[in-house]
Amino acid sequence: MGDNLKPFRQIEDQINILKKRNMIFLNEDADANILRDYGYYEIINGYKDKFMIDPQNDDKGFKPNTTFEHIYALYNLDKQLRDLTLQTLAQFEQIFKQHLAYVIARDISDDQNQYTLQLHYNVGKSYRHNATDRDGLIKNFNKTLRSTYQPYKYYRDVHGNIPPWIMIKSFTFGNSIYWFQLSKKSIRERVIARMFGIQSDLYPEMDQLFNLNQAFGDLLALYLDYRNLTAHGGRVYNHRSIRHGIRHYSPFIYREQILPISRRKFNRGLYRSSLGTLYKSLLVFKNKDPYVELQSWLTIRLENYLKQYPDDQQYLIDAMELDLTDIPKELKTQLSESSTKNES
């Protein structure tokens, strides 16, 4: 089996080990610099499985004709997808925060002395020393109210008030979700209705049919999982999350125009937490900007990669849980042509 101990090895030694395992280096000097700058662990250990004869046994080596350049290209593709996902979720986060702040200001107050009162929020979970989730939320409010950073200091000193749409700028995505979750039911429902583009008076009936509250909560958990993964440099293209995937089959998410996935496939664990699921689920929201942005750049990145490695098409489709209906017609044509040329 593979090495149990992972001692320090110089770049030359790392390359020799990979050569013994049948990896081909097309430009050894350039590849040595890549390993030096980005690391053996990040490139090889992070992306080798697809290229190994037996991913559980390094000593069996790489599949025939595996090049370092190929595995590095997959590493680069994943880095690009990670950056795109992080950017997309930052855009979604901004939209979500503004809808939450708007509803808080409209339905409670824009006065910091009112909307920060405990009575407007649920207790949440309790912890040691009788601390609760609500205590943590109020603590975050008070921290921002005392902040010496801008724009909080300006609003406090000049206006004597930090309204919700300024307060929420200091909150992380995770803390903003806690603010939403601890809000009263009526607040949460109006935020969800605004995000989905549903009339407030129709929300109760649609929630009963499609369990919109559950669907929205699952998507927030999925997006937060990817937000944290991408912010910390995690591998994205084949990521799956058991804890933060979509928990319940939702006719609102898995409908024909969004993710036409059967309950049978869902019950097998498919299309719950993949990058493809995140990507297509963005279509359920009224604001399509995050989806359009991700689709455009995803298309470009996949096109560039598959021009060079067309044989990886099905592998990436399976890893990301995409299909060719997920991407524009122009790329589908290009991929088909690339596959035909490669077969011939």
Rounded-to-integer distance, Cα 124 and Cα 180, Å = 12
Residue with the bigger pLDDT between 343 and 197: it is 197
How confident is the model over 219-228, as pLDDT tens digits? 999 999 999 9
How many helices (DSSP H) and strands (DSSP E) are in the chain?
18, 0
The DSSP line for 27-93 is SHHHHHHHHHHH-HIIIIIHH-GGGBSSTT-GGG-BPTT-BHHHHHHHHHHHHHHHHHHHHHHHHHH
Which residues, 6+ apart, have CB-to-CB distance to 331 below 8 Å? 299, 302, 303
Stretch 297-314: mean pLDDT: 93
Q: What percent of the chain has pLDDT over 70?
A: 92
- For residue 10, what pLDDT is reported? 87
Confidence check: pLDDT of 335 > 80: no
289-305 burial, b for 16+ CB within 10 Å, e for fewer? ebbebbbebbbebbbeb
Rounded-to-integer distance, Cα 131 and Cα 100, Å = 25
- For residue 257, what pLDDT is reported? 86
**Per-residue confidence at 337, pLDDT binned at 50, 70, 90?**
low
- For residue 328, what pLDDT is reported? 57
10 Å Cβ neighbour count for 88?
A: 26
- For residue 98, what pLDDT is reported? 98
Amino acid at 223: Y
Confidence check: pLDDT of 82 > 70: yes
- For residue 333, what pLDDT is reported? 52
Rounded-to-integer distance, Cα 27 and Cα 290, Å = 39
**Per-residue confidence at 338, pLDDT binned at 50, 70, 90?**
very low
Residue with the bigger pLDDT between 8 and 157: it is 157
Confidence check: pLDDT of 268 > 80: yes
pTM of the model: 0.89
Q: Indicate the DSSP class of residue 21.
A: T
Q: Which residue has 């929630």 as its token pair?
A: 207
Which residues, 6+ apart, have CB-to-CB distance to 87 below 8 Å? 293
**Per-residue confidence at 198, pLDDT binned at 50, 70, 90?**
very high
Confidence check: pLDDT of 250 > 60: yes
Residue with the bigger pLDDT between 4 and 130: it is 130
